[in-house]
Structure 1
């Protein structure tokens, strides 16, 4: 707010409520600028100089705090200091600008909507403070977050693995069912061959049903059944080998795809800002004391962001505010007088222009009337020399000389 006071000012400066220097230092001007105060109006405002110096220090503290918070935030996203530092300074300056706007609004605001405006500013300051508190809390709990980070990553990997396997449940079940069917049938056939072989052996050693030792008729029959089962097994294997190999290849392909996606997910897990926020939330669930400290830190950080606004609200209005209002009123009155004078000049111009136009119009109309009378007389003389229909003569005369004529 740059207002120029018409009153003479004394070149004094204050470092305390009771003592004033003879000159205003550059540092005081910087602090007053941060407090959204005009140094030209502040020079002879007495104790207000100290008040706004205090407000300037609170705004500066908030600005430095916001710059550090933004710096840590960007350090979780980038590793290049040439990116982190400019970004932190820029967003810290944005917070500084917002704080100055809030204080400047309190300086100039009044009337019926004062408390509504203050409520809006408080909500805005609380929102900014809550946002800035997140990177600061992460910075304060950095060791605990780093220690708990692998646990959160493991949980996220397990959840993602379950999700991927659920997506591939149907094709895996279909493939494995086909593999199990073929292998179960193979086991059944192998068991059948084994039973036939044992039966043949028992017949040859005398422990079978016939009780004879040696290869007799019954033993030869069982041997033929045993050999026939082996031949059928060999033929069956030839027919099912291709479907079995295809099913095994499909199962391996699905498993490799699942493992590849899990590997991509694990490699994509970073130690960035959002991951650390999730880790802190999980840490608060498993360790309640962390949650209580977290809330206390959030409240403290939000109080720091509110500090400039609260300092301004707690301090009473002084001479500076009166000078600001007086400067605004003077500028307003000067502008109103200028606007009234301009309107008066415009009004006089249009009135004189209207009178001039009327005079010119009358003179032109008089000339036109004389011309019309002369032309009407000429037309009438011509008509008398060669009279015709009066109605036709009148229509011609009307269309040529009258202002208004009906077609």
Structure 2
């Protein structure tokens, strides 16, 4: 035992990360290295969490400095949680496994979440292509919904236009037929086969004139109906186009859109799915390694000394207030 050992700042920082008491661990020769190892693992988890959260926030906010600040903040929370759980590991007690179980669940939640932005970074091009395809599908679905919403109104207008047009065509055909019959009668190519304006030709002329007047009357009556239907249909089409354009502007390549695209890639591509679950496992190992190392590394003189010091402090406090 080297009672006069003076640790450097690096060692002190690593021991702080591992939650070791500097005054006790500096005299425990073997445990110095053990706690330095745990401290380095905590440092690695802290750094990874900070980078991962910073990248996640970079997909949400536009300012890079804000993403960095938020990433540092969330990384700090992970650090505090790690230190609290590591401090709670006491293998000599029966409940020493509880922090490890809790950390496993926490690591699973964090690992599953942080695997997503990591994969978005690794498969950025593929995800953007899939997101573009998904957005086009969303546009088609939205257009179908808009058309369906205005379908009844549009069908009524089209039906009104159809009836008015059919009536107009009927009178037009009648006008053309009576005019052709009159012409055929006067030039001898049809009817009585007599050239000239005879009684039959005069009667057919009167019928043609009446048909022309009737057509003009119905034309004046049905034209407003047709024009109104055309105008109303055009307004509906403009509304659909306007709503579609507004919807298209809402589409983006934000985090949720990319996550949905990633899910579609995982479902459609086995290679991506394999790497996704492999990365989840790796992230889980990164998240749990500090606590796992603390739990698996053998107990040394530091823990025994810490328990004895704590027991002496308890005795002293009881003696003081007794």
Is the TM value for this pair above 0.5? Answer: yes
1:187 aligns with 2:180: no
Kept in 2, the 8 Å contact 1:126–1:306? The answer is no
Distance 2:268 2:180 in 1: 64
1:75 aligns with 2:58: yes
Q: Judging changes above 3 Å, is the alpha-carbon distance between structure 1 residues 29 and 202 closer, same or farther for their aligned structure 2 residues?
A: same
Distance 2:90 2:203 in 1: 115
Kept in 1, the 8 Å contact 2:89–2:97? The answer is no
Q: Judging changes above 3 Å, is the alpha-carbon distance between structure 1 residues 310 and 185 closer, same or farther for their aligned structure 2 residues?
A: farther
TM-score by structure 2 length? 0.91
Q: Which residue of 1 aligns with 2:14?
A: 31
Structure 2 counterparts to residues 22-171 of structure 1, below 5 A? 23-107=6-90, 110-111=93-94, 113-171=95-153
Q: Name structure 1 gaps, 5 residues minimum.
A: 1-7, 13-22, 342-407
- SS of aligned partner of 1:47: helix
Distance 2:193 2:204 in 1: 14
Q: Judging changes above 3 Å, is the alpha-carbon distance between structure 1 residues 203 and 42 closer, same or farther for their aligned structure 2 residues?
A: same
Kept in 2, the 8 Å contact 1:133–1:302? The answer is no
Deviations, residues 276-310 of structure 1 (Å, cap 9, x unaligned): 11121222333332222222222222222122222
Q: Judging changes above 3 Å, is the alpha-carbon distance between structure 1 residues 288 and 209 closer, same or farther for their aligned structure 2 residues?
A: farther
Kept in 2, the 8 Å contact 1:205–1:214? The answer is yes
Kept in 2, the 8 Å contact 1:108–1:325? The answer is no
Q: Judging changes above 3 Å, is the alpha-carbon distance between structure 1 residues 248 and 332 closer, same or farther for their aligned structure 2 residues?
A: farther
Structural RMSD (CA): 2.3
Residue 122 of structure 1, CA deviation: 0.9
- SS of aligned partner of 1:323: helix
Structure 2 counterparts to residues 161-240 of structure 1, below 5 A? 161-240=143-222
TM-score by structure 1 length? 0.73
Q: Which residue of 2 aligns with 1:293?
A: 275
Point out the structure with max Rg over C-alpha: 1
Q: Judging changes above 3 Å, is the alpha-carbon distance between structure 1 residues 85 and 202 closer, same or farther for their aligned structure 2 residues?
A: same
Kept in 2, the 8 Å contact 1:176–1:247? The answer is yes
Distance 1:331 1:246 in 2: 94
- The one of 255, 258, 281 equivalent to 1:273 is 255
Q: Name structure 2 gaps, 5 residues minimum.
A: none
Kept in 1, the 8 Å contact 2:100–2:291? The answer is no
Residue 117 of structure 1, CA deviation: 4.4
- The one of 225, 240, 263 equivalent to 1:243 is 225
Residue 9 of structure 1, CA deviation: 8.0
Kept in 2, the 8 Å contact 1:137–1:298? The answer is no
1:11 aligns with 2:1: no
Structure 2 counterparts to residues 222-371 of structure 1, below 5 A? 222-339=204-321, 341=322
Deviations, residues 87-108 of structure 1 (Å, cap 9, x unaligned): 1111111111122222122248
